[in-house]
Amino acid sequence: MFRGGPQPINPLARPLRNEDAFNLRFKPVPPEDDEDWLELIRCGGAGEVADTKEEQIARYATEAEKSPEANPDLTEFMLSKPDVIVTCSMDYLIKTWDVNDSYRPLQVFEGHLNFVNVVVPCRGDNLLSCSDDYTCRLWKLGDTGSPGELLMTYWIHGFPIKSVCELPGQRAACGGQDKIVRIFSLVTGHTLHRITDHGVCGPEDSYFQKQGCGAVWSVLHLRGNIIVSGSEDATVRVWDIDTGKALGSAQIGHLGWGEEIGATGLGWKLSERFGDVWKLCHLGKDGNQFASCSYDRTICIWDASDLENVRVIRSWKAAENGVLNVSLMGKCHIASCGSDKEVKIWNFETGELVHKIQTRGIASAVAMIDEHVIAIAGGDATLRIYDWSKGKDLTGTHGFYAHDMTLRSVAKLRHSDQAQSNWTTCPIMYQSCKWPECEADSIVALEQMRRVMKNSLDFQF
């Protein structure tokens, strides 16, 4: 997993940019006084030689022996009861809810300018979100009733961002409709790695890429310096977040609808033989297994113990239409959200259906509250708290209205995870993407949003 840091792309002293070189008023800071650059060097973003394996591992060290930052799939974190659940919606809002006080609303986080697709806890007392407004945003949790505090906005690129996850060393990974997986710094906003493989190459002589496929629907921090991505090109791929390089080859696990696609779909590889990978989730196996779900109605369980040879060990048909989400619900249970308006609980060790829940709309996500209680983010704008062992709603029939539009995701967080001992003290700035490239992406995102805002202001019936 750890093999040493990447070869640095920045020198020990800050290079002189062209615009500064031609500025007669510009006075360079002496290298020994350039505090920002010295900090970058210290955090692994510059230098003359790559970090050794031991130095790389040291950057990931936390005061707590096992922390959720480097080990997000540990059973003790995955199966613990949360204190707060977090929802986001197509109404542009993020909200938090008190699990221990009848799901009383706590805070509203307002700032996104389009659908909020995913929100996840970040370093204990922060939230990290991504949106169709081309941004990821970092938020600070606060007192009940106070407005959610926006800490930073990251303008990523000029396409909707569909997935985000936190990474060790104050970093995050995101993916979206521009077909690129990005690793970026939560401290500086720099894009550290710009991974284009999903949109450039793939199986079957890059068939999917030639058809225009490659959008990244899901990213998952597996363990340590490893993430997994799932894409519209039907592949699951494994990445080293320190080098920005692929580990092993792209794998296909979802094999399409077959002849059940119907007469109009027969003969089309994109639906008959392969399916988009919508979501990925942990299974509480220390990062050695994960699950995926797909447009082709199936769930796959993957063995990731050998990162060079990730493989499917079990799969089954889970719905009568596409499976939009899958989440861990217990030591051997997962929940799926189907486009057939059913949430189902499965034993993922056997593929056995344990319980089935009818929903009024198409549910988008599920989060585990405790061993038998789950929170369902509904397509009908409700948050539904349900005990699947008793087949009973706990907050009124079909839950309560949590947002004004369809919910997009639900996540959980614990107050005990906010301890500073769980998190690395220094950022990790390993990078393969130089400043002009990531700056150009941010400029495109800002210009795109300016056009959208201008068009909305100029619109007339």
Q: Is the C-alpha dihedral spanning 77, 81, 84, 89 positive or negative?
A: positive
| Spans in the chain with pLDDT lower than 70 | 461
pLDDT given at position 31? 86
Residues 73/283, Cβ–Cβ less than 8 Å: yes
pLDDT given at position 453? 87
Each residue of 225-243: b (16+ CB within 10 Å) or e? bbbbbbbbbbbbbbbbbbb
CA dihedral 398, 402, 406, 409 (to 10 degrees): -100
Residues 136/126, Cβ–Cβ less than 8 Å: no
Residues 113/121, Cβ–Cβ less than 8 Å: no
pLDDT given at position 228? 98
pLDDT given at position 266? 86
pLDDT given at position 65? 85
Outline where DSSP puts E strands in 123-180. 126-131, 135-140, 149-155, 161-167, 171-176
Q: Tokens in use for 107?
A: 């805070």
**CATH number for the segment(s) 97-259+271-415+432-451:** 2.130.10.10
CA distance linking residue 280 with residue 366, whole number of Å: 13
Which pLDDT tens digit goes with each residue over 273-318? 999 999 999 999 999 999 999 999 999 999 999 999 999 999 999 9
pLDDT given at position 108? 98
pLDDT given at position 231? 97
pLDDT given at position 269? 87
Domain boundaries in the chain?
97-259+271-415+432-451
pLDDT given at position 126? 96
pLDDT given at position 461? 66
CA distance linking residue 413 with residue 78, whole number of Å: 10
Look-up of token digits 């706990």: 394
